Amino acid sequence: MKNKIYCGLAAAAAVISMASCSDWTDPERVDVVYDGIAETDAEAYAKYLQNLRDYRANGHKKVYAWYENKGSFTSQADHVSAVPDSIDVLVLKDPTIVTGDALYDMQQKRTQTGMQMACTVDYNSIQSAFNALVETGTDASGWSAYLKEQTEAILSGATAAELDRVIAAYETKDFSMMTSAEAAEAAANEAAFFQSIMTWAANVDGRAYDFMGTPATVNDKTILTGAGVIFLSETASATSTAEYNLAIARSSATGVPTDRFAVVAPLPGTDANGNAVGTWGSTYTSWDAAEWSRGASVKALGLTNLANDYYNPTFIYPVSREAIQILNPAAK
């Protein structure tokens, strides 16, 4: 890897503070606490945790991180307790496999640091699974019933895992490009999917939902006004920050709350097709994305491949920690 990346890793290992930005501009110091201080200096650790919870309430730009949770622990990398405290929302890959030990781990992280827990409910993944059943002739319920059943199953898992929010991932063609019959069917599917999501969020105080997709193509824009953050899905495959700007321009349609936009950047690793991701030329994608996001009108930065960032002999989660530091720099 080029010098810029190596220098950044050295800087990450030397980081001694984490920040919040009041109104996204004025940084506020929160000292990092290293492993073992909870036992060696309980007072300092308690102060750190209080500062961290106060940091959550400030107007800093949020960090979401996608985490491949496991059904059982085989190493420290499988523990939520090990992820960087400065992540605002940890997005679990599968809420239905959260064991008792994992649930306790998550509860401790939430209580101590104020971190929220979430998962994704992916409309298009559900649709793909249904289409596969149709091709094999094993569909027995029909699409509408299947969509409701699978959406509710994931939300049930989110409830059992005591998650704070869900991310509704939804992609559709532009309604203006559909026939009247296609548009009517798509609108009904959209309404049914999001009704389940919104009902889940409304059932308990403090719960919320976010959106992931192409907001300009959503038929009912009131769905977007209820979302806390609107992730622009096309940014996940961007090859430069210039493409972030284009995504924002394309998504700024009538009725879309542009003040809630967020972008996605992969940490080093591979995508679903096995292709290497996480670098742009000589630097990490997440670092460039964080620097761009710091000055852009976006509400959050999403980091994928978090699990791959754990393994480092000197400093766990080095790339994600540095990305967070760039986005919300500590006061000097």
**How sure is the predictor about 4, in pLDDT bands with cuts at 50, 70 and 90?**
very low
- Measured CA to CA, the distance from residue 99 to residue 67 in angstroms comes to 15
Question: With 90 as the cut, is the pLDDT of residue 268 above it?
Answer: yes
> What's the rounded mean pLDDT across residues 274-287?
95
How far apart, in Å, are the Cα atoms of 124 and each of 26, 111, 168? 40, 33, 10
DSSP per residue over 82-95, as a string? Answer: GS-TT-SEEEES-G
Q: Is residue 31 very low, low, confident or very high in pLDDT (cuts 50, 70, 90)?
A: very low
pLDDT at 58: 82
Specify if 35 maps to a domain. no
Q: What is the DSSP letter of 178?
A: S
> Residue length, the chain?
332
The SS3 of residue 313 is coil
Query: Of the ranges 20-34, 178-192, 235-249, 271-285, which one carries the lowest mean pLDDT score?
Result: 20-34
307-317 pLDDT, tens digit per residue, is 999 998 889 99
pLDDT-derived band of residue 39, with 50, 70 and 90 as boundaries? low
Cα–Cα distance measured from residue 251 to residue 255, given in angstroms and rounded to the nearest whole number? 10
Q: Give me 38's structure tokens.
A: 């909870």
Residue 282 CA to residue 279 CA, distance in Å, equals 7
* 279, two tokens: 């670098």
Q: Are 270 and 276 in contact (CB under 8 A)?
A: yes
Residue 34 maps to a domain: no
Whether 224 maps to a domain, the answer reads: yes
Confidence of residue 146 (pLDDT cuts 50, 70, 90): very high
Residue-number span of the structural domain to which 75 is assigned: 61-327
Sign of CA dihedral 250, 255, 258, 261: negative
Distances (CA, A) of 310 to 39, 45, 172, 295: 23, 23, 35, 28
Statement: residue 259 has pLDDT above 80:
yes
Instruction: Count the Cβ atoms, other than its own, within 10 Å of residue 186.
Output: 16
pLDDT at 32: 44
Q: Span 39-61, mean pLDDT?
A: 84
CA distance 234 to 243: 9
pLDDT attached to residue 289: 98
Distance (Å, rounded) from C-alpha 55 to C-alpha 88?
Answer: 10
Residue 28 lies in a domain: no
Q: Is residue 192 part of a domain?
A: yes
CATH code of residue 285: 3.20.20.80
In the chain, pLDDT over 70 holds for what percent of residues? Answer: 87
What is the structure's pLDDT at 114?
Answer: 93
65-68: list long-range contacts, CB under 8 Å, 24+ apart. 65/89, 65/90, 65/91, 65/302, 65/303, 65/304, 65/306, 65/320, 66/91, 66/93, 66/120, 66/302, 66/303, 66/304, 66/305, 66/306, 67/91, 67/92, 67/93, 67/306, 67/307, 68/93, 68/306, 68/307
Residue 213 above 80 pLDDT?
A: yes
The predicted structure's pLDDT at residue 332: 31
User: Do the domain assignments include residue 2?
Assistant: no
**pLDDT of residue 299 exceeding 70:** yes
What is the rounded distance in angstroms from the CA atom of residue 154 to the CA atom of residue 223? 19
Whether 239 is covered by a domain: the verdict is: yes
What distance lies between CA 44 and its chain's CA centroid? 30
Instruction: Give the chain's domain count.
Output: 1
Residue 148 has pLDDT above 50, yes or no: yes
Is 332 contained in some domain?
Answer: no
Of 120, 125, 111, 79, whose CA–CA distance to 98 is shortest?
79
The per-residue pLDDT of the chain, averaged, comes to 88
The mean per-residue pLDDT over the stretch 54-71 comes to 90
